[in-house]
Amino acid sequence: MSTQRNHQQGSGPTPSIREIADLTARLRTLTAAGRAVDPAERAAFLTDKTALLDGIPHPDGSGGAR
């Protein structure tokens, strides 16, 4: 279940608490599945995680937090 943000680094709104909680819940589900996790779902999660992190402003004002 991917909820991709389609987010460009440094643009758009800061991720909401709900988006962070949803991503954390997906991480728990993937962790529980262990090695049996669907590779496509894992890849979608990593893409969504990157998009979410890129939406968090860096303290110096530049783009994402990564």
Position 7 confidence tier, pLDDT thresholds 50, 70, 90: very low
Given a contact cutoff of 8 angstroms between Cβ atoms, the answer to whether 7 and 47 are in contact is no
- Residue 1: the pLDDT is 46
Residue 6 has pLDDT above 60, yes or no: no
Residue 33 has pLDDT above 50, yes or no: yes
Position 18 confidence tier, pLDDT thresholds 50, 70, 90: very high
Query: Which residues are CB-neighbours of 20 under 8 A, at least 6 positions away?
Result: 52
Give the position of tokens 């997906």. Answer: 26
Backbone dihedral angles phi then psi of residue 28, each to the nearest 5 degrees: -60, -40
Given a contact cutoff of 8 angstroms between Cβ atoms, the answer to whether 51 and 5 are in contact is yes
